[in-house]
Amino acid sequence: MQLGNIKLDTIRNGFIGNQLVLTGTLNFDQTKINAVSARLSGRIEKLYFKKIGDYVSKGAPLYEIYSEELNNAKQEYVAAIEKKQLLDNSLIDFDRLIQSAKNKLLLWGMSEVQISQLPKGQKVSPTTTFYSTANGYITSLDITEGGYVSEGGSIVRLADLSALWAEAQLYSSQRSYIDPKAIAVVSFPDISGKLIKGKMDFENPELSPDSRINLIRVSIPNPGNQLKPGMSAYVTVKSQAAGSSLSLPADAVLRDSKGASVWIKTGKNTFRNKMVTIGVENDQRIQITSGLQSGDVVVTSGAYLINSEYIFKKGSDPMAGMKM
């Protein structure tokens, strides 16, 4: 392997600053997702929205269902009203019967307006339209026209995008540098110059044993729904000031599920992979809190190339070292 693309540097003290930049992704705010479920079983005769991503307004017609139970209940309600008109002087308490039938229809999701319109028709419609109880974009459509749904079965899931979660990964070695009360600033590589401030409102209490990576979450507003779930983001949080400390260019540090490592020079054309503990970082440099000492010569450009070559030649354990 030629070393023309390999650059070396000696680790030294350098000022990192008091900000930690984390790579993250925008996700739905799970507290703003509403599931619309069927209150009774039946066959879906019509869907008014059929595509993922469609926007549904609160009160908009969502689906029509044919349900034998609901049809019987509607007919009972209409029959009770008709009997009251014909036999109002009888000993039967028709008002109570009407209210009982009405309560059943309300329980199954019919509105006051729909119920009030039932006696006006010559014939009770065999299908019933149900309306959306929330605003949002369809993220899941769990039924098709002509399909059967059971009581409690999911129809759609609606997401309100007025606020989103910026979720970022945090290495365990960086945890002590985070100020959990600090304001985070979220930026977006796809939208130049856009910065949004937010507070960290969640940190996963459980650290992944495989990756040793934690998850932090920042809630941010999304006026105009300009931001979309799945977009990349950078979360910049204030850290405990690192000041002047050992640091390396960001490209020199390799990261995987086992942690962070660098390639150090041990002799002429000889390199060894070594695990390190990292601290805060900025766009150019990463703090090294342990694993190296001042004066170590480290591969700063081409580390991924050496790592790939080693795996290709020797296997997947670069800790054994590599003669180049």
Domain co-membership, 4 together with 79:
no
Question: What is the residue-averaged pLDDT of the chain?
Answer: 83
Clarify whether residues 55 and 22 are in a common domain: no
Do 78 and 141 fall within a single domain?
yes
Chain-centroid distance of CA 210 in Å reads: 21
pLDDT on residue 229: 93
Query: Do both 4 and 113 map to the same domain?
Result: no
- Pick the last residue of a domain from 159, 190, 210: 159
- Note whether 186 and 82 are same-domain residues: no
From residue 232, alpha-carbon distances to 24, 28, 132, 182, 262 in Å are 6, 13, 31, 22, 26
User: Is the domain of 64 the same as that of 116?
Assistant: yes
- Count CA atoms within 13 Å of residue 248 on its CB side: 34
Which one of 141, 159, 177 terminates a domain? 159
**Number of domains, the chain:** 3
Which of the four pLDDT bands, split at 50, 70 and 90, describes residue 321? very low
Phi, psi of 65 (to 5 degrees): -130, 145
Same domain as 150, residue 123: yes
SS3 171: strand
Mean per-residue pLDDT, 24-46 = 93
Q: Which of 219, 240, 261 is the last residue of a domain?
A: 240
Mean pLDDT to the nearest integer, 93-106 = 90
pLDDT-based confidence at residue 51 (cuts at 50, 70, 90) = very high
In this structure, are residues 276 and 245 in contact, taking their beta carbons and an 8 Å threshold?
Answer: no
Read off the pLDDT band of 324 (50, 70, 90): very low
CB 246 within 8 A of CB 294: yes
Find the CATH number of the domain harbouring 236: 2.40.30.170
For residue 61, the enclosing domain spans 31-159
Distance CA 317, CA 269 (A): 19
Pick from 155, 159, 160: which is nearest to 48 by CA?
A: 155
CATH of the domain at 274: 2.40.420.20
